[in-house]
Amino acid sequence: MAATLTTTGTVPATTTTQPKIGVMGVSKRFTVSDREVTALDAVDLAIEPGQFFVIVGPSGCGKTTLLRILAGLEDPTEGEVHLSGASDDRPDNSMIFQGDSIFPWMTVRDNASYGLTLRNRPASEIRDVVDHYLDKTGLTQFADAYPHQLSGGMRQRVSIARAFANDPDVLLMDEPFSALDEQNKTLLQDELLRIWEETRKTVVFITHSVDEAVSLGDRIMVMTARPGRVKAFVDVPFERPRSVLELRQRPEYGEIVFDIWQQLRDEVTASQQASKDAAVAARRRRWRR
């Protein structure tokens, strides 16, 4: 069972249904002290409804920028983003960030209720929905605790409970587990899959970890080093429900991880070289002054 590698830049038609998210020719340039930085260059992609879509790429390649554009927090310099089937009675998206994104002054329950409270949902509905996700994330006993009383893993569980309770159209996650230790990371990946399998919401999940991408994703987009472009799409053939630990013992898992690593290796090297070149250029500019 080999991974399906699709060459750069094309948007392969996996199904004939209308994509949930369509990104067409998206570029993003930032101006930093009179110099232009191209973060994203002509990115095309299509995400099917209910797909667990993972974006993997070297640090600084524009992953967060792309996610912020999908969330509507940033406008592309060129190109367009389409979200289909959005409804008025639920938010378009919920975002889970890398670091702590829960409110330190609110209890676990209030944090998890936040999106629903903002939308003025009835108290009984909020209680039922939040109870369900606190149970799913193992936080029932900690409902009245404050974030500083929790471990890093538990705080990310609160973020997950809040995101799912909010019942968004699309879930956007930016390296949510990257600050956790290996055991907590694996546990949370498994828990995330179990909760997601109940709802099958469209997910866009960003990571720099190839293992995490293959463990979680239906489809992976591999990005080039900056400026971020599409290097390849990889379809992950593993069935659902999945167990992260079981998956990692399979030979096919190793093959796909290896395939993606090969794609990324050149990019990581290019990204390291670019940082070195930038440091040298900055030093030269200082000397000239």
Ligand X SMILES: Nc1ncnc2c1ncn2[C@@H]1O[C@H](COP(=O)(O)OP(=O)(O)O)[C@@H](O)[C@H]1O
Which of Mg ion, ligand X, none is residue 219 near (CB under 5 to 8 Å by kind)? none
Burial call 3-22: b when 16+ CB within 10 Å, e when fewer: bebbeeeeeeebeeeebbbb
Question: Among residue numbers 222 through 251, which ones bind ligand X (CB under 6 A)?
Answer: 226
Distances (CA, A) of 288 to 37, 61, 283, 285: 22, 29, 9, 5
Which of ligand X, Mg ion, none is residue 65 near (CB under 5 to 8 Å by kind)? ligand X
Which of ligand X, Mg ion, none is residue 155 near (CB under 5 to 8 Å by kind)? none
Residues 256, 217: contact at Cβ < 8 Å?
Answer: no
Which of ligand X, Mg ion, none is residue 152 near (CB under 5 to 8 Å by kind)? none
Residue choice 51, 64, 137, 186 for contact with Mg ion (CB under 5 A): 64
CB 72 to Mg ion: min, Å: 17
Closer residue to Mg ion, CB minimum distance, 64 or 94: 64
CA dist., res. 26 & res. 37, Å (int): 15
Question: Among residue numbers 222 through 281, which ones bind Mg ion (CB under 5 A)?
Answer: none
CA dist., res. 259 & res. 240, Å (int): 22
Binding track over 22-61 against ligand X, x by CB under 6 A:
--------x-x----x-x-----------------x-xxx
Total length of the chain? 289
Nearest Cα neighbor of 191 from 236, 139, 115, 127 is: 139
CB 63 to Mg ion: min, Å: 5
Which of Mg ion, ligand X, none is residue 61 near (CB under 5 to 8 Å by kind)? ligand X
Other Cβ atoms less than 10 A from the Cβ of 191: the count is 18
Helical (H) or strand (E) element with 174? strand 170-174
Give the residues lining the site for ligand X (CB under 6 A): 30, 32, 37, 39, 57, 59-65, 226
